[in-house]
Amino acid sequence: MSDDPSVVQFPWPTVARQREGVAFGMWTFLGSEILFFGGLLLTYAVYRTLYPQAFNSGSAATDIFYGTINTALLLTSSFIMTMALRGSESGSRGVVAACMLTTAAFGLAFLAVKGLEYAEDIDKHLVPGPHFPLHPPARLFFAFYWVATGVHAIHLLVGILVAVFLGIRVALRQMAPESTAIEAASLYWHFVDSVWIVLYALIYLPGRSGA
Amino acid sequence: MSETVSAAEPGKAPEESEQCESYLEAGGHTLMSWLTTTDHKRIGILYAIAITFFFFIAGIAIGLVRLELMSPRGLFLSDDEYNRLFSLHGIVMVWFFLVPSIPATFGNFFLPLMIGAKDVAFPRLNLLSWYVYLLAAGFACYAIVAGGVDTGWTFYTPFSSLYSNGNVLAAAAGVFVAGFSSIATGVNFITTTHMLRAPGMTWFRLPLFVWAIYATSVVIVLATPILAMSLLLIIAERLFGLPVFNPNDGGDPILFQHLFWFYSHPAVYIMILPAMGVISEVFTCFARRHIFGYAMMIYAILGIAVIGFFVWGHHMFVSGESQFANLMFSLLSFLVAVPSAIKVFNWTATLYRGSISFEAPMVYAMGFVGLFTMGGLTGLFLASIPIDVHVTDTYFVVAHFHYIMVGGSVSAFFAALHFWWPKITGKLYSEAWARFAAVIMFLGFNSTFLPQYIMGYTGMPRRYHVYPPEFQAYHVLSSMGALVLLTAYMLPLVYLTWSLFHGKKAPANPWRATGLEWQTPSPPPEYNFEEIPRVDTLPYEYHPENQGGPFRPQGKVIGGK
Ligand SMILES: [Cu+2]
């Protein structure tokens, strides 16, 4: 493992301690993030309990094809992110840089697919407005849909920027592959991925079991 | 993997000068050296400057409101202007002054010092949080300049989302962004407390101020995101027409109240817990006593932080909550008073048989205990459903939370300011003027808010500027009190500024206090301690002094220059 002094930063006494601290700080932040999405999920729970039919019809209007592709993209990206973390642990610069940038590419692919889906949704007037095709409470479902996927996309965008930034810095030897930022970035990435898995179930699956 | 890591010398920590330049000297005097600093002490001061500015902005707003209320027919404001002024007062005071007040200034400055650390865990994140605060402040200022907001500080739907024609978007965006600044600070403090305590500084040796800031940070991290989401939903509804709380589409405006108060009740503890921490430091020092029931004080802090999350429904007794929910929230609200009462009893017991002296910080702190107790006891009135129904949306409620937030938190802010001023600036202020201001503040506060209890109980609703003439006497009394209070707030500005230029040089430990922050020179060197102190005792070991021995600092004393 490298003795690169750029890994340890003020005010940490040792790399090991810093690694622990950075992970701890990121977990604390993710705790906050969970409550952020929690507020949104609460509104979903309340309205879905009040209007189960409307939520089923809203969900039926979404395109599960895009959603499923995107789930596959993100799950793969998380796998590659884990490889980046492995690379970081063994100190291999090439692996970290390549995996970080590939992860970011998968994230971009997700956003591209999401963009196509958004275009189609707008075409079908699924934005709550005068031409909205479904019964009014389904507007609540689509309000959730837009806010939740929008907020998730912004989170993903931040993750992509971080991954690109770290990947390039590691590739250009401006940053050691062992940098503690790698683990923080991977924790964040997995969190954003997990949020999507929940959103996938809540947005695309209601009413599709045929029951 | 980690055992092969080099015995890393601490990051960039330079060992430039053995002379131990103070943090005010090191790095230079230029504006840039301040705006790019990652020193937690300097960032604390940056925060102090910013929040002082907003304190006076919000103060001017409420000054105009109090002036308007001198006459039952109103004096010079339209209905709309009046609504915008009290909304401005509430929004700015809560999110741009009170929430960051003690944690972001004294917490920033003293948390690392008190646990024997060189800085917070993530110094750059710390600076970033200040800039995020400024960005939020920019939104808020825009909202003010562009004409203001008329929703009150509570942003209730559907008024805020559908009907209000004020600058709700800018104000909500400001509060939303300010939340991220709070969260960044909270994450930083929690990590610092867990990871960077000096050797021997165990959890049950932490000064209570550290415990209080720690608990506050946990509440900030867990509650603020809910506020952020509820404001985001309002923004989505106003900006994009996404109907989340719109009753026409089956949405539920009451849901917003639940989300809002899920944050905003814990936010009361974000504002009061740090104040409680300050009081524990000040009381022990000026009574020369060990804190009574140290462990119990910690459990009380944690109890308040936890139970505080489960009482939000007491703001909604008249919003159509179920009877059962009302009963539970009432019960829990009574329960959360227990740990607060424990703290008041323990402070009182700390004074018992102490050798008390009345330096300015102590006078402010005693003011805190009196006012906080009154605010807390009237809180019990409000936790009881029948009384709450009677006084909902009256001045009784206004008086209650001002006793907690202004009487409590702001008094404690001034106690902290006077207690730590010599450490922060290295200068001593005029003790006589400071005591005078403390007394004036206490009297001014009471004459402002005591009448509000009475008029509220007899039926004066909040948020009206035209009112029946029988309430005029109370309003005039209250407005005169506000004038006294204003004087009391201006005084420290004068004598503290004066002390910066003409004050006597402060020794390292002017109060003969035990905390680690006093065992380093005043003002502290850039990296806080010449070497990391070693802690071998509980906090507040003032007792030996009463038996003729010296007080016992928490760590090895390191002499200054
Ligand atoms: Cu409350």
Chain A residue with CA closest to B184: the answer is A29
> Each residue of A138-186: pLDDT tens digit?
999 999 999 999 999 999 999 999 999 999 999 999 999 999 999 999 9
Partners of B22 in beta bridges: B525
Identify whether B2 is part of a domain.
no
Q: Which residues of A touch B191 (CB under 8 A)?
A: 21, 24-25, 28
Instruction: State percent of chain B over pLDDT 90.
Output: 83
* Res. B545 pLDDT band, cuts 50 70 90: low
**CATH, range A35-209:** 1.20.120.80
Q: Is residue B398 a contact partner of residue B405, using CB atoms and an 8 Å limit?
A: no
Which member of B123, B195, B222 has the closest CB to residue A24?
B195
**B6/A15 CB distance under 8 A:** yes
B8 in a structural domain: no
* B504: helix, strand or coil: strand
- C-beta atoms of B243 and A19 within 8 A: no
Between chain A and chain B, the number of residue pairs with CB atoms below 8 A apart is 157
Under the banding of pLDDT at 50, 70 and 90, the label for residue A95 is very high
Banded pLDDT at B555 (limits 50, 70, 90): confident
DSSP for B385-447 reads HHHHHHHTTBHHHHHHHHIIIIIIIIHHHHHHHHHHHHHHHSEE--HHHHHHHHHHHHHHHHH
Question: Look-up: residue for tokens 């970011």?
Answer: A104
- Residue B49: pLDDT band with limits 50, 70, 90: very high
- Residue-wise pLDDT for A9-63, tens only, equals 888 988 999 999 999 999 999 999 999 999 999 999 999 999 999 999 999 999 9
Q: Find the residue in B nearest to A33 (Cα).
A: B225
Q: Rounded distance, CA B461 to CA B394, Å?
A: 4
pLDDT digits (tens, 9 = 90+) for A181-209: 999 999 999 999 999 999 999 999 998 87
Summarize the confidence of residues B31-52 as an average pLDDT.
Answer: 94
Q: How far is the CA of B319 from the centre of ligand 1 (A)?
A: 14
**Contacts with B236 from chain A: Cβ below 8 Å:** 143, 146-147
- Inter-CA distances, B342 with B49, B380, B401, B405, B509, Å: 34, 15, 20, 19, 30
Structure tokens at A180: 């503690």
Question: Distance from the CA of B330 to the center of ligand 1, in angstroms?
Answer: 11
Dihedral sign (CA B408, B412, B415, B421): negative
B355 touches B300 (CB < 8 A): no
> Is B183 within the bounds of a domain?
yes
- Can you give the pLDDT at residue A210? 62
CB-based contact A16 B7, cutoff 8 Å: no
Residue to mutate among B15, B40, B191, with most A CBs inside 10 A, is B191
Domains identified in chain B, total number:
1
Residue B505 lies in a domain: yes
Interface contact B2-A35, CB threshold 8 A = no
CB contact under 8 A, A140 and B244: yes
Please report which confidence band the pLDDT of residue B5 belongs to, taking 50, 70 and 90 as the band edges.
very low
pLDDT tens per residue, range B398-413: 999 999 999 999 999 9
For residue B137, give its domain range. 15-558
The proportion of chain B whose per-residue pLDDT surpasses 70, expressed as a percent, equals 94
The residue ranking higher by pLDDT, B549 or A132, is A132
State the pLDDT at residue B320: 87
Taking CB atoms and an 8 Å cutoff, what residues of chain B touch A55?
none
Contact A28/B249, CB-based, under 8 Å?
Answer: no
CB B81: neighbour CB atoms within 10 A?
17
d(CA B343, CA B295): 11
pLDDT digit string, tens, across residues B157-179: 999 988 888 899 999 999 999 99
A10, A35, A146 member nearest B12 (Cβ): A10
Q: Which residue in the set B7, B120, B187 is minimally distant from A28, CB to CB?
A: B187
CA of B314 to the centre of ligand 1 (A): 6
Q: If contacts are CB pairs under 8 Å, which of residues 170-199 in chain A contact chain B?
A: none
* For range B261-267, the mean pLDDT: 95
Prediction ipTM score:
0.93
pLDDT of residue A3: 44
The CATH number that applies at residue B459 is 1.20.210.10
Task: Please state, as a whole number, how many other Cβ atoms lie within 10 Å of the Cβ of residue B440.
Answer: 16
How far is residue B358's CA from residue B126's CA, in Å, rounded to a whole number? 35
- With the C-alpha atoms ordered A149, A155, A158, A160, is the resulting torsion angle positive or negative? negative
Tell how far the Cα of B337 is from the centroid of ligand 1, in angstroms.
Answer: 11
Residue B532 has pLDDT above 90, yes or no: no
Q: What is the whole-number distance in angstroms between the Cα of residue B408 and the centre of ligand 1?
A: 15
Question: What pLDDT does A133 receive?
Answer: 87
Q: Is residue B7 situated within a structural domain?
A: no
Q: How far apart are CA A103 and CA B42, in angstroms?
A: 38
CA A208 to chain centroid, in Å, comes to 24
For chain B, how long is the longest CA-to-CA vector? 80
| Residue among A43, A85, A183 with most chain B CBs within 10 A, to mutate | A43
Asked if A97 reaches chain B (Cβ–Cβ under 8 Å), the answer is no
Asked if residue B393 is part of any domain, the answer here is yes
- β-pairing, B427-428 with B504-505? antiparallel
CA distance B374 to B380: 10
Per-residue pLDDT band for A128 (boundaries 50, 70, 90) equals confident
**Residue B10 in domain:** no
- Judged by CB atoms closer than 8 Å, whether chains meet at A140 and B243 is answered as yes
Kindly tell me if the per-residue pLDDT of B19 is higher than 80: no
Give the Cα-Cα-Cα angle B239, B244, B246 (nearest 5 degrees): 90
Q: Which residues of chain A lie closer than 8 angstroms to B224, CB-CB? A: 32
pLDDT category at B6 given cuts 50, 70, 90 is: very low
Segment B467-495 shows an average pLDDT of 95
pTM over 0.90: yes
Q: How far is A130 from chain B (nearest CA, A)?
A: 11
Tell me the two tokens of residue B355.
Answer: 């050798």
Q: Which DSSP helix (H) or strand (E) runs through B530?
A: none
Question: Which residues 94-113 on chain B approach chain A with CB closer than 8 angstroms?
Answer: 112
Residue B215 touches partner A, C-beta closer than 8 Å: no
pLDDT digits (tens, 9 = 90+) for B367-405: 999 999 999 999 999 999 999 999 999 999 999 999 999
Residue B416: phi and psi, rounded to 5, are -65, -45
Answer whether A52 touches B (CB < 8 Å). Answer: no
Please tell me the distance between residue B164's alpha carbon and the centre of ligand 1 in angstroms. 25
3 state SS of A14: coil
Decide if B225 and A36 are in contact by the 8 Å CB cutoff. Answer: yes
Give the pLDDT score at B459: 93
Per DSSP, the three-state class of B537 is: coil
User: Does B9 contact A at CB distance below 8 Å?
Assistant: yes
Q: Is B121 on the interface with A (CB under 8 A)?
A: yes
* C-alpha distances out from residue B36 to A47, B125, B127, B454, Å: 47, 12, 8, 50
Asked if residue B174 belongs to a domain, the reply is yes
Query: What's residue B546's pLDDT?
Result: 63
Asked if A11's CB is within 8 angstroms of B242's CB, the reply is no
